[in-house]
Amino acid sequence: MRVLFLVPGDLSAQLQALPAAAKLAESLSAQVQVACAPAAAAAWSLLPALEKVIPFAFDDGPTLADWANLLGNVREPDFQACINLAQGRQVDLMLSMSHIPNRVAAAGFSATSTVTPGSGWAPQTLAPFLRPLGIELDANSFRLSLPKAALEKAAAAMPSGDGPALLLCPSGHGQDWPKEQWQALPAAIRSKLPDLRVVQASSGNLMERACQMASCDVVLSSDPISNSLALFSGMPLVAIGADPASLPQRQGVQVVGQAGSLGNLQASEVLQALGLG
């Protein structure tokens, strides 16, 4: 079976769709193709069931020729279902000319099943899109399937020592926790936990970053992409400045600080969130 996902949006939007795609692929023994912006396509490299990425920039004003090309990609394979997260007359016209028998969307005249997105943690909001296909989604249980060789490479690159490993993932954006606070934090933690191994987030691709996380013991992050990778890896996470509604409610996941006022966040509050207060 082959299923098409149409996912507009940035890298975060693509990551949020991974649990739904993985669950559908597992439940239906399906291969997945996805149409998304080329700049955000890297997220789908984390899905073993991925067959193909169709480059399509939904948010960049695609031309009639772009839509015609997408229709050609959609009509050629034998898709049995489409999960459509895009909206608009153009996407409806394109899908209405496809041969896909099951088309699930939140709205639009091309949909064979219309659903209302759920609430709460973003990956879980896609649960209603799978129900017309007879599938229930528990996004909180989704875990990345990472290659053994990549995991071994990440483990070999870890700092030596037997102490716990803390992965630091600053966003580096203007609204982040101040840089000097990030730089001073390791010494503050080592004063309480001398054998701590502090690891700086990799600048590599998403697979490398996910494998690095899997080699650590806890993640401290102000970066939304790193937050998603940590959650999908089942890692304990302290998310700096995150919206609590953007995270699942589970043990080992917590928020410290408020977005927009991270300059007021004290290191003592971060240490307390890490269990070192």
Distance CA 259, CA 47 (A): 31
Evaluate whether 193 touches 103 at the Cβ level (below 8 Å). Answer: no
How much is the average pLDDT of 43-51?
96
Residue 119: the pLDDT is 85
Residue 120: the pLDDT is 83
Distance CA 87, CA 70 (A): 15
At 175, is the pLDDT very low, low, confident or very high (cuts 50, 70, 90)?
Answer: confident
Size of the chain, expressed as the number of residues it contains: 277
What's the pLDDT tens digit per position in 205-256?
999 999 999 999 999 999 999 999 999 999 999 999 999 988 998 999 999 9
Please list, in sequence order, all residues whose beta carbon lies within 8 angstroms of the beta carbon of residue 63, skipping any fewer than 6 positions away: none
Tell me whether the CATH fold assigned to 2-141 matches the one assigned to 148-273.
yes
In the chain, % of residues over pLDDT 70: 100
Q: Which CATH class is domain 148-273?
A: alpha beta
CB atoms within 10 A of CB 276: 15
**2-141 carries CATH number 3.40.50.2000:** yes
Residue 260: the pLDDT is 87
* Amino acid sitting at position 257: G
**Average confidence score pLDDT of the chain:** 94
At 62, is the pLDDT very low, low, confident or very high (cuts 50, 70, 90)?
Answer: very high
Is 80 exceeded by the pLDDT of residue 79? Answer: yes
How much is the average pLDDT of 106-112?
96
Is 90 exceeded by the pLDDT of residue 110? Answer: yes
Is 90 exceeded by the pLDDT of residue 172? Answer: no
Q: 102 or 190: which carries more pLDDT confidence?
A: 102
Most confident among 58-67, 127-136, 199-208, 253-262 (mean pLDDT):
127-136
Residue 255: the pLDDT is 96
Burial 9-47 (b: 16+ CB within 10 A, else e): bebebbbbbbbbbbbbbeebebebbbbbbeebbbbbebb
Domain boundaries, the chain: 2-141, 148-273
Q: Nearest to residue 160, comparing CAs of 237, 235, 215, 210? A: 215
Distance CA 257, CA 178 (A): 12
At 75, is the pLDDT very low, low, confident or very high (cuts 50, 70, 90)?
Answer: confident
Is 80 exceeded by the pLDDT of residue 186? Answer: yes
